[in-house]
Amino acid sequence: MKAIVTDNLAKMFGRLVAVDHISFEVEEGEIFGFLGANGAGKTSTIMMLATALNPSSGTATVCGYDIIRERDAVRESIGIVFEDLSLDTNLTGKENLDFHATLYHLPKKVKDERIAQALDLVELKEKQDILVKYYSGGMQRRLEIARGMLNSPRVLFLDEPTLGLDVQTRRLLWDYAKRLNQESGTTILLNTHYVEEADYLCNRVAILERGKIAAVDTPKGLKDSLGSSVLSIKFPEGALANEFASLLNGMSWIRNIRRHDGQLELSVGDKGMKIPEVVRLARQHGFVISAIGEHKPSLEDVFLHYVGKKLQSNEHE
Ligand SMILES: Nc1ncnc2c1ncn2[C@@H]1O[C@H](COP(=O)(O)OP(=O)(O)OP(=O)(O)O)[C@@H](O)[C@H]1O
Ligand SMILES: [Mg+2]
């Protein structure tokens, strides 16, 4: 059975189409990521799947249960870690988990076991009796993840779980998520606007842009679709980029030309150094190039290709 199936799922807020009729499937045991900029529709999508928001149209199932007709069954099957922290900071870590676990009506023994396991996974056992207001941002995020796992969910929704954390803490969280996925087979649907996070964690990534899925594949598949390398060409004046792009247009070895910030990025299909060729062409036609480089396609390049702008420059505060 698929963990998640959506069919033309849509969410309108007045005239704004936040989620634009998306259809996708997530396999059981998969870590599936939505990569998108602010306002792309990531949270709205997760909220609908978690039955916290009514779809405007379309359908979806989570663990085989319909998100509208079988809400309770969906809720029993999922865990969710919201974008905004929602812990009670005047309780200790353990008290937060304990309070949350009572919602699931677990027998005390099972409840205590689950809490201990969850605290173990995110390495917060030593801090369990400290008030959450004295936790660091990273520790609070870890506790949120622990809380999302208490009902042993088959599907865990993580909405930007590492937002605003430093790189080291982010890596730690990635490893917890990976371990949880591998050890208990939990399917994870992750929203992120960190390219490295999607690349490192996800089996498959969907690029979400203005409520639509622009592309979906494994990180490798997405990168490979851009060709074997990317040439970046910088000019002393931005306007030259456009003129030079017209010159390159139609060259058989170029798969795609992208322009941003006065810079050109060429996806090159076949191997073989194209830098000398570009430099020769520039010289021939009187263009001045200030820098040129070649690299293997990254997920950032993929995002730029489909969305037309870089994600990193669009970070949250
Ligand atoms: N309750 C609401 N009422 C009106 N508009 C909303 C509401 N919730 C979201 N939107 C709009 O829907 C669009 C998608 O928002 P959403 O929160 O799903 O995006 P996101 O990808 O999660 O963005 P972010 O990366 O900033 O969290 C945005 O334009 C947002 O302003
Ligand atoms: Mg969001």
How far away, in angstroms, is 242 Cα from ligand 2 center? 34
What are 74's two structure tokens? 């969906």
How far away, in angstroms, is 211 Cα from ligand 1 center? 10
- Band (pLDDT 50/70/90 cuts) for residue 110 is very high
Nearest to 100 by CA among 84, 88, 83: 88
Q: Which CATH number fits domain 227-296: 3.40.50.300, 3.30.70.260, 3.30.300.30, 3.20.20.70?
A: 3.30.70.260
Range 45-76 burial, b when 16+ CB lie within 10 A, else e: bbbbbbbebebeebebbbbebebeebeebbbe
- Band (pLDDT 50/70/90 cuts) for residue 191 is very high
Nearest to 73 by CA among 100, 51, 52: 51
Q: Where in the chain is the domain with CATH 3.40.50.300?
A: 4-218
DSSP code of residue 126: G
Nearest-angstrom CA–CA distance, 217 and 102: 39
How far away, in angstroms, is 59 Cα from ligand 2 center? 21
Q: Which CATH number fits domain 4-218: 3.10.20.600, 3.40.50.300, 3.30.9.10, 3.40.50.2300?
A: 3.40.50.300
Nearest-angstrom CA–CA distance, 263 and 230: 12
Percentage with pLDDT > 90 across the chain = 74
What is the number of other CB atoms lying within 10 angstroms of the CB of residue 139?
Answer: 18
pLDDT at 250 over 90: no
What's the whole-model pTM score?
A: 0.90
- Ligand 1 pocket, 311 CB below 6 A? no
For the CA of 14, the closest atom of ligand 1 is 4
Sheet holding 4-13, edge to edge: 16-26, 4-13, 57-62, 65-66
Q: Find the mean pLDDT for residues 6-33.
A: 98
Q: For the chain, what percentages of helix, strand and coil (3-state, to nearest 5) are there?
A: 40, 25, 35
Around ion ligand 2, residues with a beta carbon closer than 5 Å are 42-43, 83
Amino acid 312: pLDDT: 63
- Band (pLDDT 50/70/90 cuts) for residue 233 is very high
Residues 6+ apart with CB under 8 A from 14: none
- Band (pLDDT 50/70/90 cuts) for residue 317 is very low
- Ligand 1 pocket, 99 CB below 6 A? no
Q: Which of 48-57, 85-94, 99-108, 193-202 has the lowest mean pLDDT?
A: 99-108
Asked if 34 and 208 touch (Cβ cutoff 8 Å), the reply is: yes
Q: Where in the chain is the domain with CATH 3.30.70.260?
A: 227-296
- Band (pLDDT 50/70/90 cuts) for residue 271 is low
Asked if 294 and 230 touch (Cβ cutoff 8 Å), the reply is: yes
pLDDT at 240 over 90: no
Q: Tell me the pLDDT of the chain averaged across its residues.
A: 92
How far away, in angstroms, is 268 Cα from ligand 2 center? 34
Q: How far is CA 21 from CA 7, 50, 57, 58, 211, in A?
A: 7, 17, 8, 7, 8
Three-state SS at 289: coil
| Residue with CA at minimum distance from ligand 1 atom 6 | 13
